[in-house]
Structure formats: structure tokens, C-alpha cells
Amino acid sequence: MINIDLEKCNLCGLCIKICHEYCLHIENDILTIDYKYCSTCTQCIAVCPKQALTWDNYKPEPFDKSLYPDSKQVDELFKERRTIRDYTDKKINKSILEEITAYAIYAPTHNFNLRAIIIDDDEIISMIDELIYRISVNIYKWLYKPRIVLWLLKLFVPESEFEFLKAKPKLEKAQERKRGFKTKPAAIILIVGDKRVPLSLESAQYALYNIDLYAQVKGLACRNLVGNQMALNRSKKLRNTLDLGNTEKIFGTITLGYPAIKFRNKVVGKHMDIQWNSIKN
């Protein structure tokens, strides 16, 4: 929660200017905050030149620009980040897992209802593995075995035929392995929030990416799982095990482990189409 130290505050008004919820005001020469509208984005704390605003009793620390990575270091970090699905058996230290997860909150977010659940218990990891495996079995059984589905798809939604066929070998491989994961991850982090709050999924994705990048500097590797969320959310057993509330939903899952493979090369030439603006006459 945001606190104001009235003795330090010089009423400069910068926090009022930055607040996008318009919940800070000066009344009778006193800075006040309307907690009802505050989304705890904390930009007011970050902007205050007097460090008069705090989060609980944590004193904000000014930035140290000398620690800033240069563009070459950022280039290395971004291009080295890859999805890794094969892990060694080495367990991740609990304190490292907590350290990594704590960086989720520094991602851009429009949803302050998210929380993280760290799973490093073998039994729960296997339970999730089984759930993911079960979906491949069921999807295969109900959609790929009966030939009529492809036939109907071709007839009524021909544009989805390509995606449909593309998923087939993946499902077949999962069934050969008899598990959802290629190798068992050492840990899984779930980003959970209130399903009624808008933009939860979008915010969760940013949170996961922060975890992904920070994990990388700790020598860990990650895999982002989004497609399987439905199976996890629908499992009563998993919901009970994790003690999820009725309105809570898993919005994102990331598996972590020490990488069993090593990527050696930066992939250059990869690009997204960029279009420059132009006014149509």
C-alpha cells in the first residue's frame, strides 16, 4: 500500500501530474490519496524527488544509471532467449525460484490482482504433466481419429485446415511419450488472477516474460505454456491441490529447469514486417 510522508512532501505536485487514476490531490496544503481509485501502479513513488511516497515502509532507491546494460548486452540477452523444452534433472533452489518470480511484478501490468504460485513438488508437476497429456489423448480421440471432423472442417472452415493438420504430429508425439512434457521441468510458475478482472491474460503474459528473461540470467531455461490453461483450470484435483478460489483462474504457466540443450547461435535476419505510416490521398 502507498504511504505518504507528509514531512518529506514539498507539494511539488509531480505525483498528481503522473497519476493516471487521478486519485492524488492537494487539500489544505496536504497531499492526500484516494485509495478507492488507486490501482497501486506506483508511478507516484517512482517520480517523487523527495522520496516522500513509499510502498509500505520500503524506502525507494534512486536508479543507478552506471548499472544500466548497454545496447550490446541487451541484444545478447534478447537474442539468447529461446523456449527450452528439455531440462536436466537438477532441482532449482527455492530461493532462486522466489527471486525470479518476484520480477513478475516489474512487468507492465494493468491488473494488480495477479499472484504467482511456484510449484516444485514432483507430485504436482506430474499431476500437471498428466493433465497436459490427457488433453492430447482426448483431442486426438475426438477430433483426429474420426475422419469426419477433417471432412467437415474442409467443408465449413477450410481456412483452419492448415492449423488442424499442423497440430497432428505434436499430439502423436505426446502420446508416444505417454506424457505432456518432453522432460520433467524442475519447477512451474503459474500466474493466477481473478477471472472477472479485465486484461488479466494480457498482464499475465508480460509477467511471464519478465520471469523468462530474469531466469535466463540465472542460467535457467523456460517454456511458456498458454494453450493448455483450460485443462489446468478445469481440473478439480489441481484446483483443490493449489487451493484456488472460485473466481481465480490460471492465466499463464511457465516451466523452468536447467537446460539440457544449448543453443549456440543468434538467429539473424529474423524480422517482423514493419510498415511506415502514410496518409492515403
> Taking a C-beta distance cutoff of 8 angstroms, is the pair 258, 219 a contact?
yes
Smallest distance, ligand FMN to C-beta of residue 223, A: 5
Q: Are 201 and 110 in contact (CB under 8 A)?
A: no
Q: Which residues contact 265 (CB under 8 A, 6 or more apart)?
A: none
Nearest to 191 by CA among 127, 104, 121: 104
Nearer to ligand FMN, 48 or 225 (CB): 225
Q: Are 153 and 144 in contact (CB under 8 A)?
A: no
The answer to whether 57 and 45 have CB atoms below 8 angstroms apart is no
CB of 105 vs ligand FMN, minimal distance in Å:
20
Helix (H) or strand (E) holding 252: strand 248-257
Shortest distance, position 226 Cβ to ligand FMN, whole Å: 4
Of 42 and 175, which has the nearer Cβ to ligand FMN?
175
Residue closer to ligand FMN (CB basis): 226 or 260: 226
CB of 82 to ligand FMN, least distance (A): 3
Q: How far apart are CA 51 and CA 189, in angstroms?
A: 33
Q: Is 126 in the site for ligand FMN (CB under 6 A)?
A: no
Cβ of residue 225: shortest distance to ligand FMN, in angstroms?
4
Find the binding residues for ligand FMN in span 175-234 (CB under 6 A): 223-228
By CB under 6 A, tell whether 119 contacts ligand FMN: no
Nearer to ligand FMN, 4 or 225 (CB): 225
Is the CB of 183 or the CB of 228 nearer to ligand FMN? 228
Q: Are 174 and 180 in contact (CB under 8 A)?
A: yes
- The span from the CA of 45 to the CA of 15, in Å, is 8
The angle subtended at Cα 14 by Cα 12 and Cα 19, nearest 5°, is 140
> Going residue by residue from 41 to 80, which x/- string records binding to ligand FMN, judged by CB under 6 A?
----------------------------------------
Q: Say how far apart CA 177 and CA 199 lie, in whole Å.
A: 36
Q: Which is nearer to ligand FMN, 40 or 126 (CB)?
A: 126
**Cβ of residue 23: shortest distance to ligand FMN, in angstroms?**
33
Site residues (CB under 6 A) for ligand FMN, limited to 74-103:
82-83, 85
Is 124 among the residues that bind ligand FMN (CB under 6 A)?
no
Rounded (5°) CA angle 236-137-171: 125
**Rounded CA separation 97/188 (Å):** 9
Q: How many residues bind ligand FMN (CB under 6 A)?
A: 9
Per-residue DSSP letter, 82: -
Rule CB under 6 A: is residue 168 a binding residue for ligand FMN? Answer: no
- Which parts of 248-277 interact with ligand FMN (CB under 6 A)? none
Locus of grid cell 472452415: 157
Closer of 118 and 226 to ligand FMN (Cβ)? 226
In the complex, which residues of this chain contact ligand FMN (CB under 6 A)? 82-83, 85, 223-228
